[in-house]
Amino acid sequence: MKGQRFLNRAEAGQLLAGKLKAYANRADVLVLALPRGGIPVAFEVARALHAPLDVMIVRKLGVPGQEELAMGAIASGGVRVLNEDVVQMLALSEEVVDKAAAHERRELERREHLYRGDWPAYDISGRIIILVDDGIATGATMRAAASAVRKQHPARIIIAVPVAAYETSREFTAEVDELVCVSIPEAFFAVGFWYEHFDQTSDEEVRQLLERARRDYSYGSSNCFAPD
């Protein structure tokens, strides 16, 4: 199965939004992005669907010395999800996991304050939640996000990403109500492989996109949103 490459996250978000048209113009839909890379994708999705945008702060727990390898993830609300295969394969102790989680918890709290400021989080209960990231590799980060959302009793959880690893996508179809992808290549490599431009999204870009989305949605901008 061949995969589709994207120019950048904005283009990927626009293409992803095209697969979510059934959720446009609904008052019960909330788009939640995984920062930082998921924000530019989710901004395009929220704009196309005329839905509010917020963040679900999640931090990957990297293996010490191999930080790109996820041994799990944490999310807002005290959620921690472990990649048991990695933990067992590398014989990682509980102390190692706890130390990494404590470090990432500080960064999670910093980002919550930076991104939201004085804005309260949207109420998730009873809403259709569309969780968006720029791609899914192992799925640890997205699993933590889905677990955190599930604790708040949404009506429905939809995971929406431009590209996902084949095996991981199969696992998620049994874990959430719906999985929406533009491309699911069998040979995955890495999320960044599927983008022509995959620069790191800055904290400032995240903050600006969130402020823009809130302003447009709240005031019913003719460019984007109708008020809730």
- Angle at CA 181, nearest 5°, toward 146 and 6? 120
- Residue recorded with tokens 């874990």: 175
CATH code assigned at 35: 3.40.50.2020
More reliable by pLDDT, 130 or 228: 130
User: 174 lies in a domain?
Assistant: yes
More reliable by pLDDT, 116 or 96: 96
User: 227 lies in a domain?
Assistant: no
User: 87 lies in a domain?
Assistant: no
Of 2-6, 54-58, 60-64, 106-110, least confident by mean pLDDT is 2-6
Looking at residue 220, its pLDDT comes to 56
User: 122 lies in a domain?
Assistant: yes
User: 224 lies in a domain?
Assistant: no
- The string of pLDDT tens digits covering residues 36-59 is 999 999 999 999 999 999 999 988
- Asked if residue 226 has pLDDT above 50, the reply is no
Nearest to 87 by CA among 59, 58, 64: 64
Nearest to 160 by CA among 152, 149, 151: 149
Average pLDDT, the chain: 90
Domain count for the chain? 1
Domain span at 199: 9-57+118-219
User: 90 lies in a domain?
Assistant: no
Q: What is the pTM for the complete model shown?
A: 0.84
Banded model confidence at residue 228, pLDDT cuts 50, 70, 90 = very low
